[in-house]
Structure 1
Amino acid sequence: MEEILNQNRDGIKRVSAQLFSLMQLFNCLMIMFITMVTAHAMHGFILEGNAFDLITKCHATIVYWKIPVIAGILYISLLSLLSIECNNHIELIVKLWLEIAVSAGLFYCTGLSYTVMVLLILADIVRNRIDWSKKILYIVLLSCVDLVLNGNVLSGYANPVSVNQIWTYYRPDVASVFSGAINIMFLIDVFIFILYMVFLILEQMSEKERIAALYRELSIANHKLAEANKQLEEYTEELVSAAETRERNRFAQEIHDTLGHALTGIVTGIEACIMLMDIAPDATKEQLKAIEEVARQGITDVRQSVKALRPDALERLKLEDALLKIIDETMRSTGITINYNCTTSLLNLSQDEEDAIYRIVQESVTNAIRHGKADVIDIGIEREDGLLKIKIKDNGIGCGKVYKGFGLHHMQERLSLLKGTLSYDGSDGFTIDASIPIRWGNSAEEKED
């Protein structure tokens, strides 16, 4: 819509400019016609020896060839003034008086027969971008000037070259044709002026319509913006709620990983103590000491989870040392066998990557003991094609159909955040395969080598 309005406005503005240029050209032709015919008639009087009669009729000594030259210079001056754009009231009033003075000179040169230059000045006033109250004042002033010129007031103070007197050189029929031509050209010029004013009004109406359309579009845009802001607020609330939910899930996952692992080790160790209590009291004491250590570590992990949701072992140890520590504690407290084999460096990993690896191993071991009743667990970590691959297999009872519980669900979530994958199989014991895309630094490769 705005584009159509702009095209219409540009088209009207272009026609207005063309009409104003046509007025300037037509006035030039009329002034040159009048002054050239006048000069020709005066030259004829001189050639026929009737210069005395001419001087007597005009009451002045006249140099005929100067009339078109002076008129041409004055009209060029008028066009130059019309081309000047005014930015304020003072500039416009100075320009207006200069244009009136030049128009008076042209009126004199044309023998008081042509005042249509006033229409050019009027068109120039109307097209200026100033307040209409000042425009009306200028139009009234220009109308008064036009009345003065057409009322032959100047003839009382000067001896103008009268066209009616000069053109008596021609036969009456020829002079009549010339006068009729001037009247026709005058009417054409007035018609062009009226047409110009019509298009100027259309241009202003188009501008107002464009502004109104822009205002409507702005109102619609503001309404849409308000709706978008409302939707954004709702979406923000949803994001906050989702973030709170994710945080609760993460916290639940951390508690599950820490407490679940510790409690599983404690329960399994106590079961072993019950069986050993009567037959091996000393071994039972050692087992209870290991259980105590696991319980204390579990309490520490819970506190750390609440504090920063990061395993305490990873706060104090490097990742591989933390894995070895949890494996050793689990074997001591439960009596099961855990085979650990890592063929790649675990240095220069991000905190999220370290947390994920640690929790996958911890949760897998816990599930193998709690659900699988395993007594042998194999843990393998290797690097292949930019992936860190973790494989954990136990010799437990397995399961025909795997139901993704809390532990597997959170493993999947951790890996998804790292763009990793998780797969599992319960047909022969239980096997977990995890892959994490890792970009190792040079330092890690050098240490590995």
Structure 2
Amino acid sequence: MDENKTSEYLLVVMKNLNLIIILFISMLITYCLNGTAQEGSALSFLTSIHKIPVTPWKITVIALGLYGSMMILMQIKSTGSGSLACKVGVEIAVSFGISYLLGFSYTGMMLLILADTMRYLPKAKWKFSAAAVICVFYMMTDYDLISSGFRITSLETYLGYFEGDVCSALLGVKNVLNSLNTLLFLFYIVWLVRIQMSEKERILNLNAQLNTANEELQKANLRLEQYAEESVKMTETRERNRLAREIHDTLGHALTGIITGIEACEMLMDVAPEATKVQLGAIAEVARQGMTDVRRSVKALRPDALEKFNLEEALAQTMEEMRLATNAKIEYRCTTPLKGFNEDEEEIIYRIVQECITNSIRHGKADRITIEIDREYNMLNIRIKDNGIGCKKIEKGFGLHHMDERLRMLQGTLQYSGEDGFLVEAQIPIRWGTEEKKDD
């Protein structure tokens, strides 16, 4: 059973017990008065008391009516409307009226009022104040104290109607009920203290849990800050590598074309001046394009050719520029449309072709390059071979390293061989599926 429900249950038991005690005492008084009147001993009874009692039947009716009023007041008090002090004051006055009717033979209603009031006082100091005030009134309603200043007929006087044994038995029942009410009150107070202690313990546990959670949160924030710092460093490193690749690809490509073109001009200068001028014009165009690409790479943009053209046009342009600048023969065969790719896919295809042409001319001294691009299911295959000097013992340089790195970012693969000229084969997964993406 819930602790709060248990306290409410105890309070209900106290209310019912008080009702039983009031009914028991009021009916005893009524019975004794009626019996005295019927037996003709009323005169002797009146001479033994200090004042004329209330009409017998009215004692029970008024006492029960006043107790019912007290229950209504307690119910109103639970709604929280109005002043609590005023409500408690009215309850004490009603309790005093019931005690007066019963000849102050029972004052346990004060304990019921105190028990009910404790529920609505959140602070301990208010509870102590209310307990002190109600206890003062409880002591003031003691029969011995009241009878010293007022004329009151005691319950023992009324019970004189019965024989000695019966009178003692009835007084014993009344005292047992009174003691039971006191025990219930004490148990109720102890239970309230237990609830308060449990609440404090729960709050302490919650505070401990909150402190633990705050410590864990601080640790998590510290780990997050460390991760953020590491992430920033990794991002900076990746960005530096990306810019290095961009500059290597663009500047290396342009310089290779320029160097090869100048070497051709040196051989043509004396025998074919006009051809030399044409060759120099092509070299100048390659230099200008290379400068544009370098600037765009530094600004973290895509290659200039891909900014101006689609992928097929950009590849055609870079191959034509190298043909004009170096007189190398470049054969290009593509059996699949190069459309529908994402920007990063287009860029890596363009860079692979550009890097391989540059390496073939710069390192392989090739004058014939074959480029083949086809597709098998959802895999794009790029095969580039030259007739250069090749390389039996290949040391992966900057170009091959970053070409491989670019491919791995797209889950692609790279193979190369230098046995007969130089051969590069790249495979790139196509994200948009196994069917070719149709043009709009």
TM-score by length of 2: 0.84
Question: 1:130 Cα shift?
Answer: 4.1
Bigger shift: 208-217 or 394-403? 394-403
Aligned twin of 1:439:
432
* CA-based RMSD: 3.4
1:330 matched to 2:322? The reply is yes
Shift of 1:381: 3.9
Q: Which residue of 2 aligns with 1:250?
A: 242
Of 123, 127, 143, 2:119 maps to 127
Question: In the alignment, which of 172, 176, 188 is matched to residue 180 of structure 1?
Answer: 172
Whether 2:341 is the aligned partner of 1:354: answer: no
Q: Which runs of structure 2 are paired with 1:369-384 in the superposition (5 Å)?
A: 369-382=361-374
1:79 aligns with 2:71: yes
Correspondence 1:147 to 2:136? no
- 1:331 deviation in Å? 1.6
- Tell me, in whole angstroms, the C-alpha distance in 1 between the residues paired with 2:374 and 2:160: 120
Q: Which residue, 297, 302, 312 being the options, matches 1:305?
A: 297
Q: Secondary structure at the match of 2:438?
A: helix
CA 1:99/1:408 → structure 2, altered by over 3 Å: closer, same or farther? Answer: farther
Answering whether residue 241 of structure 2 is matched by residue 233 of structure 1, we say no
Structure 1 Cα separation of the partners of residues 197 and 241 of structure 2:
64
**Partner Cα separation in structure 2 for residue 116 and residue 403 of structure 1:** 104
* TM-score between both structures, scaled by the size of structure 1: 0.83
Seq. identity, %:
44
Counterpart position of 1:364: 356
Shift of 1:35: 2.6
Whether contact under 8 Å (1:399, 1:430) holds in the other structure is: no
Per-residue CA shift, 1:293-331, capped at 9, x if unaligned? 212211221122223432122222233222111011112
- 1:166-200 per-position Cα deviation (integer Å, ceiling 9, x unaligned): 22222211111111122222223222222222222
Partner of 1:5: none
Q: SS state of the match for residue 330, structure 2?
A: strand
Which secondary structure does the structure 1 equivalent of 2:332 belong to? strand
What is the 5 A alignment of 1:285-300? 285-300=277-292
1:31 counterpart residue number: 22
| Aligned residue-pair number | 434
More displaced stretch, 407-416 vs 104-113: 407-416
* Distance change (3 Å), C-alpha of 1:145 and 1:365: same
Secondary structure at 1:129 match in 2: coil
2:430 and 2:44 map into 1 onto residues whose CA distance is: 114
* Aligned equivalents of 2:355, 2:191: Cα separation in 1: 84
Residue 41 (str. 1) matches residue 44 (str. 2): no
The superposition leaves residues 128-159 of structure 1 with CA deviations (integer Å, 9 ceiling, x where unpaired) of 33444444433332223223311467669987
Q: Shift of residue 47 of structure 1? A: 4.8
In structure 1, runs of 5+ residues without a counterpart are 1-9
CA distance in 1, matches of 2:35, 2:155: 14
State the secondary structure of the residue aligned to 1:338: strand
Distance in 1 between the 2:46 and 2:367 partners? 140
Q: Distance in 2 between matches of 1:17 and 1:351?
A: 73
The aligned counterpart of 1:265 is: 257
Which position in structure 1 is the counterpart of 2:196? 204
**Structure 1 counterpart of 2:162:** 170
Relative contact order, CA 8 A, sep 6+: which one is greater? 1
Q: Which deviates more, 343-352 or 308-317? A: 343-352
Q: Distance in 2 between matches of 1:345 and 1:46?
A: 124
**Distance change (3 Å), C-alpha of 1:327 and 1:37:** same
SS of the residue corresponding to residue 391 of structure 1 reads strand
Equivalent pair of 2:108/2:178 in contact (CA under 8 Å): yes
**Partners in 1 of 2:64 and 2:438 — Cα distance?**
92
Shift of 1:213: 2.9
Q: Residue 430 of structure 1 aligns with which residue?
A: 423
Contact 2:407 2:414 in 1 (8 A): no
C-alpha distance in structure 1 between counterparts of 2:366 and 2:33, whole Å: 132
* Cα distance, 1:412–1:188 mapped onto 2, change above 3 Å: farther
SS in 2 for 1:394: strand
